[in-house]
Every structure is written in C-alpha cells, then in structure tokens.
Structure 1
Amino acid sequence: MPIDAAKAVAAEPRSAEISWDHKDIQLYHLGLGAGVPATDPDELRYTLESKLHVLPSFATVAGAGMGVVGGLSAPGVEVNLAAVLHGGQTIELHRPIPVKGKATTTSRVAAVYDKGKAAILVLRTEVADAEGPLWTSDAQIFVRGEGGFGGDRGPSTRLEAPTGAPDKTIERPIREDQALLYRLSGDWNPLHADPEFAKLAGFDRPILHGLCSYGMTLKAVVDTVLGGDVSRVTSYSTRFAGIVFPGETLRIALWESPGRVQVSVTAVERDDAPVLADTLVLHN
C-alpha cells in the first residue's frame, strides 16, 4: 500500500524556517480581491503598508505552504498527486500574525483515516516565532483509491445545518485574472492558469484555488461581522465542497451566534452550486 499509516504518523516532524514581510501580505490580500474601492479606508488596511493588518488565512500561504508539501513527502506516504484533493482546512490562531516575521514551521502527518475508497491525510503544521506559538494549521488531504486498509474512519467534520434564513448574505465577484494573481503567493499548480492542463483534468477552463475562496470568505466575515478586526478570529475551518471559476460570483451566507459564525458559500452563476461547506469562524 502506498500509504503506510503507522509509519507516516510515527515519522519525525519536519522543520523549516520561513519569513514574510508586508509585500507578501499585500500580494496575498490583492489575490483575494482586496483593494476595491482602492481608496476605501477599510480596504487600505489590506493594501497600504502604513495601515496594514494580516488576514489570518495568510497562514495557508506563509512560506509558500511548505507544511503541506512536506507532509506529502513524509515517510510512509507515496501517492499519485493526480489522486490528491484538498478536502478541508482548519487554522487555529494563537495570536495575531505580524506584518513582518520570521518563524519555524514544523509539519507532520497527524492522522491517516480510512474512508473506504479513499484515505484522508491530516497534515498538521505548527508555526512559532521567537515570542512563541503563532498558529496551528490542519490540511485534510483526500487521496482517492488509498482507502480500504482497515483503519479508523476518523471524526465527522459535518456541522449541523443552520436553521432559518441567514443573518447576512454577501456576494463577492471573482475577477477573471484572480487565480493568476493568487498563484503568485506560492501555489503554482497549472490547473489554475493553463487552459490545456485544466481540460486534461476535466474542466472547461482553469478553476480558482480553493484556498482563495477560503480567504475571500474569511475577509467577508471579518469585514461584515467582526468590524474589520482581524485579531478577533480565533479559528477558521471549512470543507471544500466544489469548484468555482474566475469570473463567477461567490454567494456567502452567514448565520451568527455568540462567538461563532457559520458560513455557506455557493457559486451564483451555477444555481448556487456548493463551493465551501461546514464552514465555521470562531471569534472573541
């Protein structure tokens, strides 16, 4: 079996040094569609270095997402990348991410779950700087054809469906060039840029990065529910439920309750086809 679950989980963590500064933050925010209108004071917090704050989902691209790359090359893990899908993502914030930083990222395979026809790898990345822990990130990687080895099915990540109409519904357009800009933050998969490669993968045209939709959604929650205060976010999790194309529109439905916002994200132009599901922002 290409995945040796016991060997993968027992393997020594891999560490690397990463750094970032305001240019990385600004590029990431622009890749999420920030800066419209360009002179809006609320948008300048994402684009102007003298006013800059850091959206917590930047954690997924800091160091070009080295934690996920390291996890897929861990001992006991030999998979065909064509069979790999990003199934879900969770970030736990220990404190606000600084605009400029140097940190150590430590990655490991935290769990391998058996879903029958597929396996799920939980790739955990812990990041700390000289002052202590910054964030912990879990990427749930779905590997088709690698299940059926008799392992634990793992916990359910499904949330109970919210009742009633959403408290807020927000629409966010995706620019035609947005995937081209977002990929400059480190995800160079040609699926998001090359039409010929996208057709080989079964799509009419390149698709947007799931983590771009993820970041756009968190920005919408911060801006509309949390008063633009990124430091209030304590954790953010989602399940990638479907694709979205550049040029389409995200419909982001929010259900608010004390300390939490439950979210559903769909593609407007395709009859609200699901994009993100089981999405939850916890905040203080």
Structure 2
Amino acid sequence: MPIDVERAVAAEPHSTRISWSHKDVQLYHLGLGAGVPATDPGELRYTLESRLHVLPSFATVAGGGMGVIGGLSAPGIDVDLAAVLHGGQSVETYRPLPAAGTATQTSRVAAVYDKGKAAVIVLRSEAADDDGPLWTSQAQLFVRGEGGFGGDRGPSARPASPERDPDHVVRCGIREEQALLYRLSGDWNPLHADPEFARLAGFDRPILHGLCSYGMALKAAVDTVLGGDVARVRGYGTRFAGVVFPGETLRVRMWEEKDGGGEGEHGAGRVRLAVTAVERDDAPVLADTVIEHT
C-alpha cells in the first residue's frame, strides 16, 4: 500500500477538540509508576488533585493520543498498522499544562522520508486553548516495506554522546501490571497486554509502551535534576532504541549541561539521557534523548 507523499504532505491539517480532567492526569502519572512512596510529598505532586502538576509528556496522551491517530488517517496515508513502529517522539511546551482543560489539536503529515526498506512518516500536532498555544508534539513512525520510492532520506544528525561519566544514575522499576495500567490512558494496542498477540509480533511476552518509558525517564530527570519542577521543562525528545518488559528495571543515566544566563534563578540548560534495561545487560531502550529546560 504505497504512500502518496505529495498528497499526504499537501493535505489540509486535521483538527479535533480534546479534553482532559485531573483524573486523566493522575491516571497517566500512575501509569508511569508515580505514587511510590504514596505519602511522599514529591510523589503527591503527581497523584493528589489538590497539588497536581502535569508532566509535559502528558501531551502525548491528552485526549486519548488522538494526534497520531489523526495523522495516520490523512489523505495519501494507507499503511498496514502492523508494519508501523514508533521511532521517535518530541514535545515542546509553551507554558505549564493545566490539570484540566479543553483544546483544539491540529495534526498533519510534516514529512515523509525514504529510508530504503522503510518510510518514515513525521506527524506534527499542535494544541492550543483559549489562552493560546499549549504544546507541539512530533512523532516519527517507521513503516516497514514502504521505502524505496526515491524520496529524501531526511536528517541523519544525532545529538553527540557525552564522553564522561553521568552526573546522576537512577533506577526505575517497572511493575508487572504497569503496561495494563498505562494503556488505560489511550494506547489499546494488544501488543502491551495480550501474550498471544505479543508472540505473533515476535516477543515472548507483552512489552511496555515506548511512550511509558518516555514518560518515566522524564519524571526521573525532573525529580533528580529539576527539583520536581515540571514547569522548567521546555522540550523533550527521544529515539526509541529498544524494548523493555514489565517487571524489568530502567537505568536512567543523566548528564547536565548549562547554557548560562536565562531568566529566573536557574538559567537555561539541558539534560542528556541514556536509558537502558538493567536485567538485559543494559540493552538500549531510549537513545539520543534530550530535555531542554529553564
């Protein structure tokens, strides 16, 4: 089912109204493993409605994650969903996300790249409420078997890897039922719950959602480097480098980089992350991962 690149990129953006409440935010945070210890003031920022702060990665599931769904239904895009892999994700926020809200989310196909054996569809979604822009998210989706059409290969530059020991290392345990809880935020792919489906996909058991690992790593960095202040995050991007299974442990290595200057008491900077699976000899999970912050 070939992709009509010109038609897909030229198509009118798809807009939809999305809404969320504090319950959606709390469920998302619990799906990332928040709330342990349950009475820890740092964890209550993610779980108690009277103190609720919203991780920027919530943008990937707000409204049930309709941004990606809307993009894949664009004219010119007719692909087998079984051939689609989530290759990368980024989110840029313009102000702290409200714990409850309604917004208009507009999605479009920003680009289609030819990687030879696969095509990469870049889906861009922008959300705004009555007070203005909230976030821009971008997903890179690999579609196996759809490359070789002679198109642009796309950018290949990647962030440089730090050549020193990390400033912080955090281990994040993944509960056995965590994928079952996380999928309630909108990703119902049976790959993350049904053992038979997972075996058909080549895995001996269900895997954790990549966007769950994405959110867990952000929370670990916010809590470790940014003093728990989610409002300091301005952008967050990653490349999905491998899978992780419920019951395993993520090792999150963090490198701080300061830009100097900036507004407020902190100044601007970034945190580079490398996320691996401890029990499988630190097999890569997230790579080329960068948090931009104030």
Q: Which runs of 5+ in 1 are unaligned?
A: none
Alignment of 1:154-165 (within 5 A): 154-165=154-165
Q: Match of 1:215, SS?
A: helix
Alignment of 1:206-245 (within 5 A): 206-245=206-245
Post-superposition CA distance 1:173-201 (Å, at most 9, x none): 00000000000000000000000110111
Q: Match of 2:206, SS?
A: coil
8 Å contact kept, 1:26–1:47: yes
What is residue 117 of structure 2 aligned with on the other side?
117
What is residue 272 of structure 1 aligned with on the other side?
282
Q: CA deviation at 1:150?
A: 1.0
What is residue 61 of structure 2 aligned with on the other side?
61
Distance 2:212 2:280 in 1: 19
Pairing 1:14–2:24 present: no
Post-superposition CA distance 1:207-259 (Å, at most 9, x none): 00000000000000100000000000000000000000000000000011110
What is residue 74 of structure 1 aligned with on the other side?
74
What is residue 3 of structure 1 aligned with on the other side?
3
Specify the code of the residue in structure 1 equivalent to 2:209.
H
Alignment of 1:158-197 (within 5 A): 158-197=158-197
Indicate the RMSD between aligned Cα atoms, in angstroms: 0.7
Distance 2:82 2:157 in 1: 24
Post-superposition CA distance 1:22-73 (Å, at most 9, x none): 0000000000000000000000000000000000000000011111011111
Q: CA deviation at 1:159?
A: 1.4
Q: CA deviation at 1:157?
A: 4.8
Q: Which runs of 5+ in 2 are unaligned?
A: 259-268
Q: CA deviation at 1:156?
A: 1.9
Q: CA deviation at 1:76?
A: 0.4
Post-superposition CA distance 1:113-167 (Å, at most 9, x none): 1111111000000000000000000000001111111111111252111111111
Distance 1:46 1:2 in 2: 43
8 Å contact kept, 1:157–1:278: no
What is residue 24 of structure 1 aligned with on the other side?
24
Distance 1:154 1:101 in 2: 35
Runs of 4+ in 1 over 4 A off after TM superposition: none
Distance 1:149 1:93 in 2: 35
What is residue 262 of structure 2 aligned with on the other side?
none
How many residue pairs get matched? Answer: 284
- Identity over aligned pairs, percent: 77
Distance 2:21 2:103 in 1: 12
Specify the code of the residue in structure 2 equivalent to 1:191.
L
Distance 1:230 1:156 in 2: 30
Post-superposition CA distance 1:73-94 (Å, at most 9, x none): 1100110111100000000111
Compute the TM-score of the two structures, normalised by the length of structure 1: 0.99
Compute the TM-score of the two structures, normalised by the length of structure 2: 0.96
Distance 1:95 1:150 in 2: 40
